[in-house]
Structure 1
Amino acid sequence: MKPKNKALVYNFLGFAILFIAIRFLVGMLLDLKTILLAIIAGVVTIVLAPKFAVVKTPKGKKLMMSWIFLKGVREL
């Protein structure tokens, strides 16, 4: 699998897992309509989800990750 495709899959999985967890958590705590619940979970997930990207280096393409809870950028 190409690094660009891996980054896309990792971004989707990170977002999806956090979105579902946050949606259920907020749904249990607050009594909101489903659309408002989804919007709140989406905004929070956009901020908290890790970001994956492909960077070109002299050695080739590398998959990098940036996350709000980790300092700096990590190579995968």
Structure 2
Amino acid sequence: MNKATKVLVIQFLFFAVIFLAARYIIAHFELLTGIWIPVVSGIITIVLVPQFKVFKIDGKDTVFVAWLFSKKGTPVNWL
């Protein structure tokens, strides 16, 4: 599995975990009802999920992660 595929899977897992947590919190505390629970959960998730990108630097694939709380992307060494 190449790094681009790993990044896609990891980003999906982060999205799923944050989406399910936001959906559970919104539904548990009855903040919204009906179709608005998944809609608002999706918007919250899109804002909070970290973005992973693969760049080719000096012939090697390098993975960077950036999200709402960081000013610039930082390299990921565990992929």
**What's the TM-score, normalizing by structure 1?**
0.89
Give distance in 2, aligned partners of 1:45 and 1:31.
16
C-alpha displacement of 1:31:
4.2
Pairing 1:18–2:42 present: no
Q: 1:31 to 1:73 in 2, by over 3 A?
A: closer
Give distance in 2, aligned partners of 1:55 and 1:65.
11
Give distance in 1, aligned partners of 2:61 and 2:32.
46
My pick for the range that moved more, 45-54 or 57-66, is 57-66
Give distance in 2, aligned partners of 1:56 and 1:14.
23
1:6-53 deviation per Cα after TM superposition (whole angstroms, max 9, x unaligned)? 1101110110000000000011221411x2100110011001100011
Pairing 1:43–2:67 present: no
RMSD (Å), alpha carbons: 1.2
Give distance in 1, aligned partners of 2:15 and 2:9.
10
Q: Which has the higher helix share?
A: 1
**What's the TM-score, normalizing by structure 2?**
0.86
Give distance in 2, aligned partners of 1:9 and 1:31.
30
1:26-65 to structure 2, matched below 5 A, reads 26-29=26-29, 30-33=31-34, 35-65=35-65
Runs of 4+ in 1 over 6 A off after TM superposition: none
* Aligned partner of residue 56 in structure 1, secondary structure: strand
Unaligned runs of 5+ in 1: none
